[in-house]
Amino acid sequence: MQAVTIQTFGNASGMIVADAPEPALGAGQLLIQTEAIGVGGVDAVIRRGTLSTSGVLPGHIPGSEVAGQVIAVGDGIDPEWIGRRVWAFTGISGGYAERAVAALDDITLLPAALSSIDAVALGSAAPVAHFALAHAHFRAGESVLIRGAAGSLGISAVQLAAAAGASTIGVTTSSPERGERLRTLGATHLLDRSGGSADAAVPEFDVILDIVGGNALPAFFDRLAPNGRLVSVGVVAGYPPADFGMTLMRSFQRSLTFSTFSLNTVPVAQRNQARADLFDSAARGELHAVVHEVLPLAEAAEAHRRMDAGEVFGRFVLTV
């Protein structure tokens, strides 16, 4: 089969299309004929070689989420799955290929009205946004800031916060044009990447979901209201400074909270049910998948080059 492999770690030129062995189908697994592949930030981190993960060697096939049709099942799996359209999490590898395998616990059935392309734009991002808001103890009537809102996770968070009754939804993004697109999805206030704004009325926020991390993260504690909660759900700009907690301590009397969130801590049944519900919402038109562009599998390196250049609003999707 055809697959995209990382031959050298670093920039996107180290990715090539090559013949690869068929994935081995083990007990409890399903084989999927891939139709669409989500291009995620973790794929870029792995490709750059900046994620310390054992077993990631030259020849690695990146990709963690696919959608397509089940064509075979391993021992212990009901053959009735064959022919069904599914979204699947493949781990940290194996997605950028014509066929992929996933465990039954990592499969979600797709509604008939939801395309495979939209499924991989939502399948990982929307559940993270959903549970991160819950982790922050967000309640209707509170204000929310999404830091790094132009990616699929941030876009999902904006929509879910709006649907859940947020009083104010602030976003940080790299351009006014992206900000205006986020307004159409529910954002009410636009901030620049430093957290500043030309709008003097921008308030403090009860909840901040931070997808960016990096050196600027501590400055956003100043954007929290008393009893405010900042939840880190990504570090696409790297880790914050080692002493970032001192900013919290200097605001001791404001009772601020910092926490991290990973979907790995949510029980399998809960996250799968949430994903199925979110897919149903998308099929009804209540939640919108935002796809930056659809490219063929052979152009995966081009998608990564443009991600590295910061050219993405939503998600790149590869098709087979």
- Are 72 and 153 in contact by the 8 Å Cβ rule? The answer is no
Give the pLDDT score at 42: 86
Give the pLDDT score at 176: 85
Tell me the pLDDT of the chain averaged across its residues: 94
Going by CATH, does the domain composed of 137-260 fall within 3.40.50.720?
yes
Kindly report, as residue ranges, where domains of CATH 3.90.180.10 are found in the chain.
Answer: 2-124+266-319
Give the pLDDT score at 51: 64
Kindly report, as residue ranges, where domains of CATH 3.40.50.720 are found in the chain.
Answer: 137-260
Share of the chain above pLDDT 70, in %: 96
Q: Which two tokens stand for residue 142?
A: 């509170």
Q: pLDDT (tens digit, 9 = 90+) per residue, 158-199?
A: 999 999 999 999 999 888 889 999 999 999 999 987 666 655
Give the pLDDT score at 196: 66
Residue 41 has pLDDT above 90, yes or no: no
Give the pLDDT score at 208: 98
pTM equals 0.94
Q: pLDDT (tens digit, 9 = 90+) per residue, 307-319?
A: 998 889 999 999 9
Give the pLDDT score at 311: 81
Residue 176, Cβ density class (10 Å: 0-12 exposed, 13-18 middle, ≥19 buried) = exposed
Quickly state the pLDDT bin for 203 (edges 50, 70, 90).
Answer: confident
Pick the CATH number of 2-124+266-319 from 3.30.420.40, 3.40.710.10, 3.10.20.30, 3.90.180.10: 3.90.180.10
Residue 6, Cβ density class (10 Å: 0-12 exposed, 13-18 middle, ≥19 buried) = buried
**Low-confidence winner among 194-198, 206-210, 265-269 (lowest mean pLDDT):** 194-198
CA gap 212, 302 in Å, rounded: 23
* Residue with more model confidence, 197 or 10: 10
Q: pLDDT (tens digit, 9 = 90+) per residue, 98-142?
A: 999 999 999 999 999 999 999 999 999 999 999 999 999 999 999
